[in-house]
């Protein structure tokens, strides 16, 4: 089997900045389109990956609608805004998958366990089938333990991005293949691996 190599990229804390949760004060996913801001250097890094021949796949857990915190339409508007800002910088993803579920959610249909919520590898496996990817030559880049676990479970190499705002979602026990400060640095690692 010789499929294409992909860079699976988490969204919040990798592509776009987190924003303080109004209740907990902890940095969390933006829940309003107006709050979306790209991480500096992220778009340029993605362009380099595409130029070097990598397929770009977004894989993001978005449980806020399942929890009743926002409507599904608001979540979609946030995702559209991320895509719009990236497109403005010349970046278009080959596929972008969201897991909208949460096992302890309150909204029917979305409140359930599933095979797509990271740390499960479902979104990576689905994209792999759809786009005929070679998972063993692919990378998962994300800022939480769950991203690393999903990448490992799918058979990809993994890079943990140590985004400042999401330190509370990293235990130090995730065992990624590499650690990077941001997506731009992670991209250097991926590009070097091909030389």
> Can you give the binding site for Mg ion, defined by CB under 5 A?
10, 12-13, 143
- The residue behind tokens 């359930």 is 112
**Shortest spacing between CB 166 and Mg ion, in angstroms:** 6
Is 114 among the residues that bind Zn ion (CB under 5 A)? Answer: yes
Element containing residue 126 per DSSP (H, E): helix 122-131
Instruction: Give the integer Cα–Cα distance in Å for 148 and 99.
Output: 16
Q: For residues 5 and 160, which CB has a smaller minimum distance to Mg ion in the complex?
A: 160
Among positions 58-97, residues that touch Zn ion (CB under 5 A) are none
Work out which of 9, 65, 116, 184 binds Zn ion, going by CB under 5 A.
116
Residue partners of 86: CB distance under 8 A and separation at least 6 = 15, 38, 43, 46, 92, 93
Residue partners of 149: CB distance under 8 A and separation at least 6 = 118, 119, 174
Catalytic residue among 12, 143, 145, 147: 12
The one segment of 63-71, 90-98, 110-118, 170-178 that binds Zn ion by CB under 5 A: 110-118
Among positions 120-179, residues that touch Zn ion (CB under 5 A) are none
């Amino acid at each position: 089997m010789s499929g294409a190599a992909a860079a699976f990229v988490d969204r919040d804390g990798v592509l776009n900045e987190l924003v303080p949760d109004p209740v907990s004060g902890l940095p969390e996913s933006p829940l309003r389109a107006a709050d979306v801001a790209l991480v500096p250097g992220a778009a340029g890094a993605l362009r380099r990956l595409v130029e070097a021949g990598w397929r770009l796949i977004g894989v993001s857990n978005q449980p806020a609608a399942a929890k009743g915190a926002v409507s599904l339409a608001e979540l979609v508007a946030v995702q559209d805004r991320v895509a719009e800002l990236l497109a403005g910088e010349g970046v278009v993803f080959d596929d972008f998958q969201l897991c909208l579920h949460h096992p302890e959610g309150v909204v029917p249909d979305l409140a359930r366990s599933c095979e797509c919520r990271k740390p499960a590898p479902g979104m990576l496996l689905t994209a792999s089938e759809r786009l005929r990817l070679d998972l063993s030559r692919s990378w998962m880049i994300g800022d939480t333990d769950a991203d690393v676990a999903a990448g490992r479970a799918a058979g990809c190499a993994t890079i943990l991005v140590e985004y400042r705002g999401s330190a509370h979602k990293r235990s130090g026990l995730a065992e990624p293949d590499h650690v990077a400060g941001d997506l731009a640095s992670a991209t250097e690692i991926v590009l070097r691996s091909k030389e």
